[in-house]
Structure formats: C-alpha cells, structure tokens
Structure 1
Amino acid sequence: MPTGQALHDARTLLLDAGRRVLSSDGAGALTSRAVTETSGVAKGVLHRHFADFDDYLGALVGEERRRIENIEPLVADSASAAVTDVLEQVFTPTMLGLASILITRERLRRRLQRDGSPEVPLFADTTSVVADVLAAEREVGWIPEDADIPALALTLVGSAHLLYVSAGDARPTRDALDRIVQSILP
C-alpha cells in the first residue's frame, strides 16, 4: 500500500488478515509480518492500531469470544443434535488457532482471563455456551434433572477439541462429532 494513502478501517482489515492466516496456515504462521503482508499494509499500520502483537492477538481473541458467546443451536430436535450443532459452530480454524496460541502463551492467556479465573479463554466461553444449551435441554426434558451440567459441558468441549485437533487439516464429520456427543450425554 503506497505511503500516504488513507486506509478505511485498518483495524478491521488487520483482524480479517489474521483470521485468514489462521484459517489457511495455522497458528504457527500468525506473525506480525504475515498479518501485514496478508492485509497489504505496512508494518507500521499494525503498530499504530495495536500496542504490540499481544494486543493484536487479544483483539482477535476478544472478537472470537463475542462470536462464541452469541452461538445458538440451529438444530434443536434432540439434545445431541443441538450440542453437536453448537460445537460445530464453535470449532472453526480461527478458534482452533487462537486456542493453540492461548495454550502456549501464558502471559497473553493471563492478560485475557476474566476476573482472575484460571480458565483458558475461548474454552471457558465455549463451555459456558454449551452449559446454557444443556440447561435449556434439561428444561424440556432431554437431559435428566440430576445431570451435572458443568461437568457435562466441560467433558463435551474437551472431547470435541481433541477430535478437531486430532483431525489435523481435515475437519471431522458431523457424524463423528455427534457420536462423541451421544456417548457423553446421559
């Protein structure tokens, strides 16, 4: 991008570039250079909008948290279908890449934890969304009254994460995810 040319919404341009890098090349490829090259802007533009690269990553995580918090099941004809649908919406290449970064970058993870919670951001958000879905399913009678919703949600999220990570570049099929969900739900 030529010097002196006005950028409209450079912050969004940079965040979109980070998501593209995560989706195409994974967490290991997400660097400030990759972001600026993908967005087509000078490196100084990144530093003008973010204090440092952790600040940039924090903004990406913040947007991903908001996306996850707004997920609702699109399919709700059974408990397993609703949970499978939510997990399928959660585990995108962007989420998986950011989760990997959060697991390995303790300083960033601590900075993004809410209220001093020891939970890993994104996973905690996903667990909360799944717990809400399970609670709603309990109200309609799909989940037993005595079910331990927090434990079920944590187990479902952890199992789904392992399924997605072990699939590598290939996304697991909905059937594979649904089999895991059905095996966990009471």
Structure 2
Amino acid sequence: MPTGRALDDARTLLLESGRRILAAEGAGALTSRSVTDRSGVAKGVLHRHFADFDAYLAALVAEDAERIRAIEPRAAGSAVDAVTDVIEQVFTPTTRALVALVISRDEVRRRVRAPGSYGIPLLMDATAVVIDVLAAGRDLGWLRPDAEVAALALALIGSAHLLYAGELGAFPDRAATHEVVESILVGSL
C-alpha cells in the first residue's frame, strides 16, 4: 500500500513553494528542506524533478525571467510613467530575492546566463524590457530622437535595483521610484 500522496504536478508545487518562501522570508530561507517541507513532499521528490538544488534555483530564475520579459506598461502618458510602471512590475519580493541568489551563487548564474551574454540575469532581462519601452517612447516623441536608450535602461535598472534592495518586506513607494526614473531621464525628455 503506498504511503505517500499522489502529486498531480510536483514540479509546479515545488516551484510555487520556493516562490512563496522567497517572497515571505527572502533568499536566506530557501533550502531544499524548506521547499520540500512547505510543499509537503519528501526530499526525494525535489531530486526526481531537478538534478540538484542549483537546477531547481535555475528553474525559478528562468520562470521569473520569462515573466519579466513579458512585462509591458499597463498605462502611461509619458516615458517616466511607463518606465516607473515597468520597474514596479519587475521588482517583486520574489524577484528581489532571486536577484540576490543569482548574485551570490555562481553556478546558478552560469546555468541561467545565455551564451555570450553579460550582466546579472533577471536584471538584464529587465534592462531589455526597459530598452523596448524607451525605444517606443522615443518613437512616440516622449524622448529626444538622440536618446541613448540602452545606456538609459542600464542606469534605470541599476538604480532601481539599489532602490529596491532594502529590508525584507520594505519597498519604496511609487513617488520614490518615479523620482529616480525622472532624474535619470530628464536630460532625454
């Protein structure tokens, strides 16, 4: 007679548990034991779906990168508003914790970084989204035609990362994010 419970989609369950741990407790709380405990499964289930814990972390990062790449401004009347909205969508509690993991774990960073790419995964995905938003804003006349959107996007995401890298649960308000975005874009408006 089986002793375990049937799992419809253990992989999804494990990844969702990891996201919840990251959002609530931060990167330091994420271990294979915390994930399996939160999921209510045996530790062997994790290793049945992922070669090792770094593979599990890489899967979390890959899913978040996909989410980030799909971000679009929800509503905006200016480049500043559009970028502020995108930044607020990028820097969730889970993403903030995943960035910390990617920075601190070389093997995870190696696994998720595309060949020939540079920078910190997730932050570079966010930079690509902001480049697209700024290029569209330039086409709409929100930015000067000579605005260097790639350089601006790097400055915006780097600054946003510093702004959002605070205490667990503490996030800047929209006005603070808007002010940083506006101060970086002011010369290109």
Shorter-normalised TM range: over 0.9
Q: 1:56-95, aligned counterparts within 5 Å?
A: 56-95=56-95
Separation in 2 of the partners of 1:168 and 1:42? 28
Separation in 2 of the partners of 1:93 and 1:29? 13
Structure scoring higher RCO (CA < 8 A, sep ≥ 6) equals 2
Counterpart of 2:105, as a letter, is: R
Residue in structure 1 matched with residue 143 of structure 2 by the alignment = 143
Residue in structure 2 matched with residue 25 of structure 1 by the alignment = 25
Separation in 2 of the partners of 1:94 and 1:166? 13
Q: 1:1-186, aligned counterparts within 5 Å?
A: 3-166=3-166, 168-185=168-185, 186=188
Cα distance, 1:167 vs structure 2 = 5.4
Aligned identity (percent) is 61
Separation in 2 of the partners of 1:168 and 1:13? 24
Cα distance, 1:4 vs structure 2 = 3.4
Separation in 1 of the partners of 2:142 and 2:167? 30
Between the two proteins, the alignment pairs up a number of residues equal to 185
Separation in 1 of the partners of 2:166 and 2:55? 29
What per-residue deviation string (whole Å, max 9, x for no partner) do you get for residues 27-49 of structure 1? 01110011011111111110111
What per-residue deviation string (whole Å, max 9, x for no partner) do you get for residues 59-91 of structure 1? 101100110000000021111110000000000
SS in 2 for 1:133: helix
**TM-score, length of structure 1 as denominator length:** 0.96
Separation in 2 of the partners of 1:117 and 1:16? 28
Separation in 2 of the partners of 1:13 and 1:25? 18
SS in 2 for 1:115: coil
Separation in 1 of the partners of 2:49 and 2:167? 35
Counterpart of 1:182, as a letter, is: E
User: Structure 2: 5+ residue runs without aligned partners?
Assistant: none
User: Structure 1: 5+ residue runs without aligned partners?
Assistant: none
Q: CA RMSD in A?
A: 1.2
Cα distance, 1:111 vs structure 2 = 1.9
- Segment of structure 1 superposing worse, 163-172 or 145-154: 163-172
SS in 2 for 1:171: coil
Counterpart of 2:77, as a letter, is: D
Counterpart of 2:166, as a letter, is: S
Counterpart of 1:52, as a letter, is: D
Instruction: Indicate if the aligned counterparts of 2:25 and 2:168 stay in contact, CA closer than 8 A.
Output: no
Separation in 2 of the partners of 1:159 and 1:179? 11
